Amino acid sequence: MTFILSSKRSRRALWGAAVFSTGLLLNLLGSPHHTKAAVGCRADPLLTLSNGATIDLSLEIGKKDFTLQDVQHISYTLHGPVGTSLVSTSFPDGSGNISTVTYVADDAPGSYDGDTVVTTGSKVKVTSYLSVVTLPTDGGTPTPVEPEKGHSGQDVYTHLYIG
């Protein structure tokens, strides 16, 4: 007997099982607000732009026992190519309640500049990363980006070029 997922009900059931399994796995791994890592905590908003690009502004914050609960606020500014706009912002790590995002379309074609400021109760190390998750619809090749280091309270700048 051949089993084919051709009905809408079967596809929905399969999709529902996949979403449930993912949620269960994330629950077992723990909430990012309570997870402690060797480097502290991470914050990773994803910004989708009108040119089709999805940009990840990642941060590593603090020391070994630092969590997102120790972060008071994170301010992200992404500068992108002139003529583009921000379509959506998501916070898969759950840091949206302590974050603000500003998008400014004032860069040259293919250029993306991230500026982040992390506010904490004490001075901690901050490492900022800027990467492309989805290329713009007109394509291109991202230039590798070195992470930038700083401290809480400082502007930490990163640059990405897709050409």
Report strand pairing: 156-161 vs 111-120: antiparallel
Q: Rounded to two decimals, what is the model's pTM?
A: 0.74
Mean pLDDT for the stretch of residues 38-44: 76
Residues 64-109: tens digit of each pLDDT: 788 888 899 999 999 999 999 999 999 998 899 999 999 999 999 9
* Nearest-5° Cα angle at 105, 156 to 111: 60
Strand order, beta sheet including 99-107:
99-107, 71-81, 111-120, 156-161
Residues 126-148: tens digit of each pLDDT: 999 999 999 999 999 999 899 99
Sign of CA dihedral 77, 79, 80, 83: positive
